[in-house]
Structure 1
């Protein structure tokens, strides 16, 4: 028996005691509990450590493969990093492949062990076997650090000009990683990246070359300007893809190489941005893509989506922009919620670009339907888009739908929607009464979530309105709270606004309507009449007392009610004043210092003569908009 046969027998004996990867997977799957699995993994990890210490070359690849499986299960496997390096140094392709896979999984660019791989990578990049070169390029493209990129950049640059298309494709992807890590090395790749566009018959080379050029254009404006000379070539490639006969090699659900089409569209988007000449060259082919692409499947929808983004980001013709908006409109009618979401998000982005929103307004009905969608993500995007589209012509329709959605939306969203709706109502209002009605409905639905600014702006709006509107507002808010609806009384913002108005305009509340036209129909309350009997002085005090003792009262509401009560002493008869002073006196010993101090001060006002007290408790003047005043003072 010769020595070679003895070695084979010894190798076979060494492997007998080693559990295969298949056996380990089977053992893990047979575990009934997590504790059993941990026990199996711990036992096998200990065995693998022992095997590594014995430096057994025959079983190293088996142990590393098991270790990678253990790592993918989420258990620590760092002790196998050096063994992966040893496999990479092997002459066997199978060992080298497993070693590089282990390096990509167990190492990252921040670990010092990675520097030990540089020499092996350099040797394999210069190897005569293209598959060894491919493994090295793949690893370098995944985990390259800055130092490694600088050391091996020249080898990758050389491989970009290799005659083998497989190597050129891998080298282009590796160059992508290198220029991201070290942008200074970009100038070494620009010329060869442009030459990759000549490989029109090889789609893999085209795809990687265009991806590399796209990244370069994003990083350097000079490269972007130089690459614009390739626009005619890119347009020709794209036109060939959509007009040529069927090619089974590149077909995906009836679409010719959608990956290449998408990448070309992304590069054209960069080249045509703020450049009329380049945009003119691509207008026709974009129209062809938009009209010839089948939108019945996701493959076609992905191309149409990229086409829309390209049209909206270049200096395109107005007819093309209308076509792009119509494509997104068709997306909104799709049953797939993912496509709806993409369309809504894109419409939110392009709405700010459009100079004429009429093409977008045509789809307002579909957008309103999306506001009613059961999917919360769809609703959020549709609401954002509705606020963008809002103007004086559609404010009433959109506001009505947003108020309905406000009732069902999450508590986190109520504050945001309420603020934006009140701001839009102020900006696009047809008249002050409509704005008051809208804000009142917001406070009624989401008054517990609105910010103080919303309440302050509403009070400012009322103080700057006519006496008739002040009476209308106070009467409206009084009637809302007088219904004794627990859900309504839970809205703190509504209570604060109502109490403030009652305190300031109680004298108007106790009068008959000054303007009959304001007392007919409330168009935002489902055409319900708002007329009611004129309340008595005691009815008003009863309401405030009920709120003061209600289950939803807070210290802030108590403060507002005390101020309103002391204001009423200047407007009501003497018997009511005695009752009011009694209510205020209860808070002279309150545990809250602010309430206690105000109660004592307000009781002291009763000792002043009527003339002084009437001046102190007189109605507040019209409040000014502090932001507008600040702008005027700054000369803005």
Structure 2
């Protein structure tokens, strides 16, 4: 060790470079060598660096007017190794580092290499604050260099410097912002990451304005990154809801096609929680929609707001001082939704939101109800089953259920902002797609469910339009499968108002439960009752050409709760309407409490024979279902005979999750 340290007194540059490199490797390999060199070699390294910096011109060591930059760099690296985490060693090298940083020319590449290594060393040791500011100023000069490589290196170093001296980096904010607009995509992206780190509560508004202004003229391949960073900055630092809304509306207008789903979901949640800004929001979004109807996320948020707050738009309710009144008729509000419905002909989510918003406006604006019905009916033959079913159900609501329409189409309950943000953060940490783990608000405002309904509300935005959730029940059918009840998504079963603690369900609740295709459960003065059987459902088809009209909103009878699994198993009426009656018999095998065998019996209560009858059952993932063939596919009229079918279910979470029953039917 001593021999290596003694060689630092050599005059020949080749020997010095070799011994400096040897000492560096020894420090990496041995803690003992590191401590020894800290005590005996620092003065020698300072002398070498001073001599090289002050030496006169020597042709054999000169590179573009810089004396031996290779020796400079090797010595600086060894100084960084010795000074890291050691205050005494760092103090000895502070002066020589300041001398190198100020005397080295920055107009030559060799000089820039030395300056870069000097900055790395200053940032790596326990340097004084003044020396760190000097190093960061060197990086600021690098940003003005015409060489893209030098600017990229400077941006990388400034990102590291943020952890050391944020205030010094902030002084170069203007130059860094200019790099965001650079022609080189690598520099743009690195500068954008640095700007994101620079944002704080005091500079968020001017920095956001600069980024939003650039968003309009930026290249398409950069818009996605820029949009994501702006949205993140606005969400993270916003303390003023009005400013937050203004910035998000600008982003939606300029680059709505690049806005992620979780961002505009969060925007809808905020609008829901800001009643004083709902009028301002719907008017601003309507104007933005008229000016730029090609941005997908803008259209979705605007459609949702028009459906929820259409009367505020038409009547200029809740005007702010910064606003000017606008003139929008009821017909023009419907025009905006109709245009969006037609423009996004290939986007199922946006069209579904438009249909929901139109349905809500049919209640808000009764004079437009006939026109809205005509628009809705146009989709009754849509090849997309989701839109076809919505259109059929909505047409039935408009045409035949005026008595419940107003209560059914009330505004959405206020969405729990805190719960949504917590769920969103948890989903991000788990790297789970938000469209699955945090169901979206995409249905354009779930229909409000009256008091006394079945389930307590889960997390906000649950099942508003989660059309393809991983938690969807696994459907087994004989012989084919049918889609799950889309209205469970549309109406947001999780967003049911349970403020009424007891009492029997009202008539409107019974009809609504039918609309949800889940049946209505009995409500008691206390905890909600559920049945301990699985979730069957059935599909009925009548013979082609047979005149038959079945009310899709026909009331379902309440499911009767079963006794405990250890008691007897009486027959129950699982489902009954004016059209169909379904009864269940149950049986359990001794020693197999997790298995239940059911015998279903179906009776036709109409005067028309039903043909091609098919029963289907949907179960959660923890249930295994076996469905045996039915006794027939023809159901005689007027109760003159029945169809029977057996099914058995195995509860893989027996003792943890109970079997429950819900039912619904469709006709085709």
TM-score bracket relative to the smaller structure: 0.5 to 0.7
Separation in 1 of the partners of 2:25 and 2:217? 44
CA contact (8 A) 2:363 2:409 kept: no
Q: Secondary structure at the match of 2:152?
A: helix
**Residue in 1 aligned with 2:395?**
603
1:369-518 alignment runs, 5 A limit: 369-429=178-238, 431-465=240-274, 467-483=275-291, 488-518=292-322
**Which 10-residue stretch deviates more, 505-514 or 258-267?**
505-514
Distance 1:212 1:506, change over 3 A: farther
Task: Give the 3-state SS of the residue equivalent to 1:569 in structure 2.
Answer: helix
In 2, the alpha carbon distance for the partners of 1:586 and 1:214 equals: 78
Rounded Cα–Cα distance in structure 2 between residues aligned with 1:291 and 1:571 = 72
- 1:504–1:620 Cα contact (<8 Å) kept: no
Higher relative contact order (CA 8 A, sep 6+): 2
The alpha-carbon deviation at position 616 of structure 1 amounts to 5.0
SS of corresponding position for 1:396: helix
Does the 8 Å contact 1:200/1:237 carry over to 2? no
Name the residue aligned to 2:176: 367
Q: Which residue of 1 aligns with 2:357?
A: 564
Of residues 46, 65, 72, the one that matches 1:254 is 65
CA contact (8 A) 1:196 1:205 kept: no
- Deviation per CA, 1:195-236: give whole Å up to 9, x if none: 574353122222233334434544565554444333332222
- Equivalent position SS for 2:24: helix
SS in 1 for 2:257: coil
How far did residue 539 of structure 1 move? 0.3
Over aligned residue pairs, what C-alpha RMSD do you find? 2.7
The range that moved more, 201-210 or 261-270, is 201-210
1:388 deviates by 1.2
- Aligned in 2, Cα 1:541/1:201: closer, same or farther, shift over 3 Å? same
| Cα offset, 1:620, TM superposition | 3.5
Which residue of structure 1 aligns with residue 336 of structure 2? 543
In structure 1, the gaps of 5 or more residues are 1-189, 520-530
Distance in 2, matches of 1:423 and 1:496, equals: 20
The Cα of 1:497 is off from its aligned counterpart by 1.3
Q: CA separation of 1:202/1:494 partners in 2, compared to 1, >3 Å: closer, same or farther?
A: same
Alpha-carbon distance change, 583 to 261 in structure 1, aligned in 2, over 3 angstroms: same
Instruction: Give the match for residue 582 of structure 1.
Output: 374
Cα 1:446–1:213, aligned 2, differ >3 Å: closer, same or farther? farther
State whether residues 241 and 257 of structure 1, in contact with CA within 8 Å, keep that contact through their aligned partners in structure 2.
yes
Counterpart in 1 of 2:638?
none
- 1:415–1:451 CA contact under 8 A, matched in 2: no
Distance 1:222 1:496, change over 3 A: farther
Question: Given the superposition, is the C-alpha separation of residues 213 and 453 from structure 1 closer, same or farther in structure 2, using an over 3 Å criterion?
Answer: farther
Whether the 8 Å CA contact 1:227–1:271 is kept in 2: the answer is yes
After superposition, the Cα gap between the structure-2 partners of 1:588 and 1:552, relative to the gap in structure 1 and judged at 3 Å, is closer
**Structure 1 pair 272–404 and aligned structure 2 pair: CA distance change class (3 A):** same
Distance 1:371 1:613 in 2: 52
Work out which of the residue numbers 331, 337, 359 in structure 1 matches 2:142.
331
- CA displacement at 1:317 relative to structure 2: 0.5
**C-alpha distance in 2 between matches for 1:537 and 1:330:** 59
After TM superposition, list the pairs within 5 Å mapping 1:61-76 onto structure 2: none
Structure 2 distance, partners of 1:567, 1:221, is: 74
Q: Please tell me whether the aligned partners of residues 411 and 449 of structure 1 are also in contact (alpha carbons under 8 angstroms).
A: no
Which string of whole-angstrom CA distances, capped at 9 and with x for unpartnered residues, describes residues 507-554 of structure 1?
2112225234131xxxxxxxxxxx352211110111111111126752
Secondary structure of 1:542's aligned partner: helix
Normalised TM-score (structure 2): 0.59
Residue by residue over 1:359-403, the C-alpha shift from the partner in whole angstroms, topping out at 9 and shown as x without a partner, is: 222222222222233333332222222111112222222212212
- Of structures 1 and 2, the larger Rg is shown by 1
Contact 1:196-1:209 at 8 Å conserved across structures:
no
Aligned to 1:172: none
For residues 219 and 406 of structure 1, do their structure 2 counterparts lie closer, same or farther at Cα, with a shift above 3 Å needed? farther
Would the alpha carbon gap of residues 610 and 254 (structure 1) be closer, same or farther in structure 2, given more than 3 Å must change?
same
* Aligned 8 A contact 2:13 2:71 in 1: yes
Between Structure 1 and Structure 2, which shows a larger proportion of helix residues? 1
Alignment partners' CA distance in 2, 1:458 and 1:201:
69
CA distance in 2, matches of 1:288, 1:353: 21
Give the Cα–Cα distance (whole angstroms) in 2 for the partners of residues 257 and 422 of structure 1: 49
Check if 1:554 corresponds to 2:347: yes
Q: What is the distance in 1 between the residues matched to 2:68 and 2:190?
A: 31
Q: CA deviation at 1:257?
A: 0.8
Shift of 1:473: 1.4
Whether the 8 Å contact between 2:8 and 2:19 is mirrored in structure 1 is no
Matched, 1:593 2:385: yes
User: Measured at CA, do residues 631 and 317 of structure 1 come closer, stay the same or move farther in structure 2, by a change above 3 Å?
Assistant: farther
* Cα distance change, pair 397–249 in 1 and its aligned pair in 2 (3 A): same
Q: CA separation in 2, counterparts of 1:429 and 1:365? A: 22
Quote how far apart the aligned CAs of 1:287 are: 0.7
Aligned residues: 426
Indicate the residue corresponding to 1:35 in structure 2. Answer: none
Alignment of 1:201-220 (within 5 A): 201-218=11-28
Structure 2 CA distance for aligned equivalents of residues 212 and 594 of structure 1: 72
Partner in structure 1 of residue 131 of structure 2: 320
Aligned-residue offset at 1:602? 2.5
The SS at the match of 2:258 is coil
After TM superposition, the structure 1 stretch with the greater mean CA deviation from structure 2, 409-418 or 586-595, is 409-418
**Aligned equivalents of 1:589, 1:214: Cα separation in 2:** 77
Q: Is the 8 A contact 1:440 1:477 kept in 2?
A: yes
**CA distance 1:549–1:294, change in 2 (3 Å):** same
CA, structure 1 residues 533+613, in 2 after alignment: closer, same or farther (shift >3 Å)?
Answer: closer
The answer to which of 230-239 and 321-330 deviates more is 230-239
Higher strand content, 1 or 2: 2
- Contact 1:403–1:442 at 8 Å: present in 2 too? yes
2:271, 2:278 within 8 Å by CA — same for their partners in 1? yes
For 1:625, what is the secondary structure of its paired residue?
helix
- Alpha-carbon distance, 1:405 to partner: 2.9
1:141 equivalent in structure 2 = none
